Homo-oligomer: A and B are copies of this chain.
């Protein structure tokens, strides 16, 4: 036991800060640990806000309670963890020479200066606002603080708002959209870029768009907010870049966050190129006695090696724990980096991603192959639900670089599975022979992840040539001379079809009807079925009979995001 207890100061009481403080306490009962928190609450389950707003549960305390039902207030921190938590207290400045932090108690205005041996900066991030007129009107909010959650829940409970706009088509934007929709509010999501959910490639994003519209929420892409419109200081509508005006009484801004780095910058700590506080693998800033974690730092991509910002609650907790260990035993723990994994419930769809998207992989300079695959999560006789996914691999090494998965099926399990595969630097071949848990309540005999790897392997080996639904649409729109072949049954064709000039020849009839195919063996032929498994089998037949430009529309009709004939 040291004669003088270690003095630990933690700035930030949301995720990374309390985690670092609690872990340090478990490592050293005798340290002096003080937590400075600007807000009134501590350790808020902020990722739960949309579900509170949407009425998934009604007891607000669940957002700030331990699993045993105790509110995580300063008294709890003192009693259970012997951590002094100073709430409603803002850290004003760090004096690195004196090793002190000056802070102000916001209600009283009193300032005090606290000494530290080791300091943790977990100041988080602040929501961005579009720089347009009218942003200060009443009725415009973000969803960042518990106060925001309270306000939006009050909107639900009051039941007066009828129309809302969500600005920003990312994860939080759609979580808010669903919550407002569940509150009976007609909601429109506005996205400035051409495609929602930037971590998804546009083919899959478009399918999510269709799903949201099927729930009678609206989405406007490729159109930013030009101004917020108001009457008597209250929001009355949103004007878009193209001049459209959308009347609404509520607007929720979800266009991203900027890291809170002012304290660190003013203290002379190094800021990284991506705008976050620079830290090493031990989460140490440029001052070895100061650590930083969470939304305010940059961390390393384990795939590209690049530094990036990853404002995710789970990452903040992991980093906080690493800091907790290093506070007591410097150098004992490392945070290796992230692969960029995330997930979101959007109405009946699960939307998840891990690693690089196709676009991101190309931008990073990888020579890649991709496979888009549709299929059930569990057998049809067990009421399996659809998953549509894209797997991305490095063409030369076969290393899996990314995976996106959407649909009503259990995508969460598949994202977690591939996230670990990426973490383990596994290849498509490794995934092709993965030993995953199989029983009908949980999986197909060959799980969706394995089938995805098989399709990707078939493409890497040249056994299958794929074409995306977008490319097929472009061919059709441009009047391409390609021959389009639907290989399903006449009954399936009758019930639903694309109507893009396709010919129907069921798989089982193809060998007997080769004379109905183009005489020009070099003409492009594109095959598909419901999920394009039969399409692939048909393609193998045609290739064997001499057609040279045979391709499979990946994911089949289930992945087709454009209007159909029926």
Binding site for B on A (CB under 8 A): 1, 15, 25-30, 45, 47-48, 51-52, 56-57, 59, 62-63, 67-68, 70, 76, 79-82, 171, 175, 302, 312-315, 317-318, 321-322, 334-336, 338-345, 350, 352, 354, 376, 379-382, 410, 412-413, 415-421, 423-426, 430, 432-443, 445-447, 450, 454, 463, 488-489, 492, 507-509, 511, 529-531, 534, 536-537, 540-541, 543-545
Contact = CB atoms under 8 A, between A and B. Distances in A.
19 contacts: A28-B544, A67-B531, A68-B530, A312-B438, A318-B433, A321-B432, A334-B433, A338-B435, A341-B436, A342-B438, A343-B438, A350-B441, A352-B437, A412-B442, A415-B437, A416-B436, A419-B435, A420-B421, A423-B430
Contact of A381 (B57, B350, B446): B57
B76 A508 contact: yes
Nearest to A345: B441
B435 A340 contact: yes
Contacts of A426: 420, 423-424
Given A56-B382, A68-B489, 13 more contacts: A45-B440, A47-B438, A47-B439, A302-B435, A315-B435, A318-B446, A321-B432, A321-B454, A343-B439, A343-B442, A413-B416, A420-B420, A420-B434
A219 to B, nearest CB: 20
Contacts of A335: 433
A148 to B, nearest CB: 16
B437 A62 contact: no
Contact of A80 (B63, B454, B507): B507
A233 B50 CA distance: 65
Contacts of A412: 413, 437, 441-443
Contacts of A339: 435
